[in-house]
Structure 1
Amino acid sequence: MTRFSFDTLRRYPDAEAVNLYAVDATDRLLLREAEAELRPSSCGQLVVVNDQYGALTLGAAAEYGLTGIRVHQDPLTGEQALANNAEHTGLAGSYRSLPLDADLISGARVVLVQAPKSIDALREIVELVARHAAEDVTMYVGGRVKHLTRAVNEVLAESFEQVHASLAAQKSRVITGRGKLPITSEPSFPRRRLEPETGLWVCAYGMAFAGLKLDLGTRRLLTQLDRLPSEPGTAVDLGCGTGILAASIARARPALSVIATDQSAAAVASAAETMRANGLQDRVSMLRDDAMSTLADGSVDVILCNPPFHLGNSVHTGAALKMFRAAGRVLRPGGQLWTVFNSHLAHQPALERYVGATRVADRDPKFTVTVSRRR
């Protein structure tokens, strides 16, 4: 049996800090609740969804001798952290990373899920389990007690005869579903809506940020599109979400070649559906990447960015700063970075440092829009 300690796991390449952790009480509780079903005979029948940095996957591999574990993590940095942690713990061959689809779930008898933030994200996972897992599958959904609302139980009850909540441990709880119910409806995802302010069809998978809504920060950036360069060049929607901004750039500036990029698998898949729904699939290319790491230095003319200010459930500027550094590398000299952020955040000095001269283009008590010119 491989010697293994949760304490050796890291978040890298995601942000690391004293208040940010690679493993939490929910990981440990999920493994404990599923212990009776995690045995070597379960090899190839365990699926892990939303494993943050690999604690569930590698814990199951090391503690119970499992191999053939199928894993889906929406953030690319989660996949990379799992790969790094698997390498240094000697467990690199114990799992496969797969998209969130039928191949991930097919024949699974045990499914471990770190509860996603949105009910839509959980519903998409539950629907896939109901359609494609083994008939005797058991599904375990774990999370912090304060985030496990009654809606979590209700979503599981739509697909399972028995739904049971564990006792709380270190402010975490696990909701278990057993006994699959017959499937009586069509798949719910991707969802689609005609967004009235933009006139665009918006498509969204469950884990896509903001879902079918127009995010308030994105709405603010949209007011600046007529100030973008009109000559031929390349524009990047950095952190594209469902692709509303990328689609709007493509319509407003036909001379620009547009790249929609995000580290979220659900975001990139949603944006691709949004482009197809609006006939823009030939104008906008999709890229799942972490902060434009695969784009060449000095290769882009304009970047638009609505950066996150959370990492998981923690308020942290690490993701935004990583995006600003990347923009400084990828923009050509004289290229523009348009950024929107909450007005209380002191991002302007970082933009000056990593990109170049930065001015406020629009501001109110809620949002600030800046434009930075690459030095």
Structure 2
Amino acid sequence: MSADTLDLSRLRRFPDIEAPNLVAVDASDRLILDEAADAVASAAPGTVVVINDHYGALTLGAIGLHGASDVRVHVDMLTGERALDTNAEDSGLAGTYRHLSLVPELVDGARVVLVQLPRGLDALEEIAQLIAAHAHPDVVVIAGGRVKHMSRGMNDVLGRSFSSVTATLGRQKSRALVATGPTASDAVYPKKVVDDERGLWIVAHGAAFAGPQVDVGSRYLLTFLDTMGPTASTAIDLGCGTGVLATELASARPDLTVTAIDASDAAVRSTTATLEANHLAGRVAVVREDGLGERAAGSADLIVCNPPFHVGATLAPDAALRMIRGAARVLTDGGELWTVFNSRLAHAGALRRMVGPTEIMGDNGTFTVTRTVRPARKAAR
């Protein structure tokens, strides 16, 4: 595949989960690109921005189909960012864009911004406020998604940051919102809230899971904090979100070396800010990684995890199974994996098969907490 013969249908999700019911390019990607064709084609180099691209369709389409150059891109999930890079390499378009976090530099002076609408309104509001505050006054924002995942609230969110918000005609169960005329608004991200029950400050960017609160699963898991890996010296908060588990571990166990890991840029930035807000900056290493693939085998005595069971809107248990499989490799002999999950899911069986003996420590009717011990590895012959 080359730039002048770009075929969006050949893009892949890899290294993210690939399955028959999961696609790399959908109708909303194509609709956004079609609606933005003239604006992108006439935009000066460096003035086209792509936000929330899933696997590279918007970025590579803007470049390979509409002639954009020096495109600035923000992809929250590391798997999506790597998929974009892989697809760009395969398409002969490597080096034609730049990755940036959701910061002012991403949209400074932008004239055209293409957005795959996030599921959460907080995530969209942070994006809208950033564009309105730092893009060119004549910026046009084309934000699209699948109709089943869109709501009137998205129009309202965009309307708080732009004077004009209109909807395109629907096509193949997709629709785009076009926003122009950025207006001044008070920046509210990241949000910072204290959890009175735990005396914990939580800081959350818009796309961070659960926002500035302790989600109910993690709150239940934290009730077992005092019994987790009592002899552990190294711990990992896997899928750290806003860093609640890592912060509580580091606070309760000053002798524990804690690492917080998440593939989401918003999560990593939120966790870092949460630690700072609780005067624990420097106590926890916060890294953006795809699961535990970059961790050494047998390097953690304790892993705590509130695994996801959806990829976007799709039920995808493989996401949690990848995390469980990674924990089996990274745990030391006798190391403990503590998880919390929706009680209707069969994760306990997977934990026993993939990691080791698993005990159900609690079940409140909605969530189940388990403790799994990694058995000793067999000595090599």
TM-score (normalizing by structure 1): 0.97
Q: Which residue of 2 aligns with 1:106?
A: 108
The one-letter amino acid of 2:66's match is Y
Question: Could you list the per-position Cα deviations for residues 27-46 of structure 1 after superposition, in whole angstroms to 9, with x for gaps in the alignment?
Answer: 01101111121216433111
- Which of 174, 177, 191 in structure 2 is aligned with 1:172? 174
Is 1:61 the counterpart of 2:63? The answer is yes
Gaps of 5+ in 1: none
Q: Which residue of 2 aligns with 1:23?
A: 25
User: Per-residue deviation at 1:239?
Assistant: 0.6
Is 1:136 the counterpart of 2:155? The answer is no
The alignment-based identity, stated in percent, is 51
After TM superposition, the structure 1 = structure 2 runs for residues 245-256 of structure 1, keeping only pairs within 5 Å, are 245-256=245-256
The one-letter amino acid of 1:338's match is W
Distance 1:53 1:184, change over 3 A: closer
> What is the root-mean-square deviation of aligned Cα atoms in Å?
1.2
Q: Which residue of 1 aligns with 2:124?
A: 122
Q: Which residue of 1 aligns with 2:153?
A: 151
Question: Could you list the per-position Cα deviations for residues 9-55 of structure 1 after superposition, in whole angstroms to 9, with x for gaps in the alignment?
Answer: 11111110000000111101101111121216433111000000001
Q: Is the 8 A contact 2:195 2:202 kept in 1?
A: yes
Hey, what's the Cα distance between the residues in 2 that align with 1:283 and 1:134? 40
Hey, what's the Cα distance between the residues in 2 that align with 1:41 and 1:116? 25
Q: Is the 8 A contact 1:339 1:370 kept in 2?
A: yes
Gaps of 5+ in 2: 376-381
- 1:334 partner SS: strand
Q: Which residue of 2 aligns with 1:307?
A: 307
Q: Which residue of 1 aligns with 2:96?
A: 94
Q: Which residue of 2 aligns with 1:328?
A: 328
The structure 1 segments of at least 4 consecutive aligned residues displaced by more than 6 Å after TM superposition are: none
After TM superposition, the structure 1 = structure 2 runs for residues 1-375 of structure 1, keeping only pairs within 5 Å, are 2-39=4-41, 41-181=43-183, 183-185=184-186, 187-231=187-231, 233-375=233-375
> What is the total number of aligned residue pairs between the two structures?
373
TM-score (normalizing by structure 2): 0.95
Hey, what's the Cα distance between the residues in 2 that align with 1:194 and 1:275? 13
Q: Is the 8 A contact 2:229 2:335 kept in 1?
A: no
Question: Could you list the per-position Cα deviations for residues 115-154 of structure 1 after superposition, in whole angstroms to 9, with x for gaps in the alignment?
Answer: 1111111111111111111111001111121222121111
User: Per-residue deviation at 1:294?
Assistant: 2.0
Distance 1:247 1:41, change over 3 A: closer
User: Per-residue deviation at 1:65?
Assistant: 2.0
Question: Could you list the per-position Cα deviations for residues 141-188 of structure 1 after superposition, in whole angstroms to 9, with x for gaps in the alignment?
Answer: 11121222121111111222211011111111101111222x252x21
The one-letter amino acid of 1:337's match is L
- 1:32 partner SS: helix
Q: Is the 8 A contact 1:2 1:90 kept in 2?
A: no
Deviates more, 1:350-359 or 1:216-225: 350-359
Q: Which residue of 1 aligns with 2:378?
A: none
Question: Could you list the per-position Cα deviations for residues 202-243 of structure 1 after superposition, in whole angstroms to 9, with x for gaps in the alignment?
Answer: 101111010012111101110111111333511111011111
User: Per-residue deviation at 1:299?
Assistant: 0.6
Distance 1:216 1:52, change over 3 A: same
User: Per-residue deviation at 1:292?
Assistant: 2.1
Deviates more, 1:246-255 or 1:192-201: 246-255
Q: Is the 8 A contact 1:156 1:177 kept in 2?
A: yes
Q: Is the 8 A contact 2:160 2:185 kept in 1?
A: no
Hey, what's the Cα distance between the residues in 1 that align with 2:28 and 2:112? 17
Q: Is the 8 A contact 1:67 1:93 kept in 2?
A: no
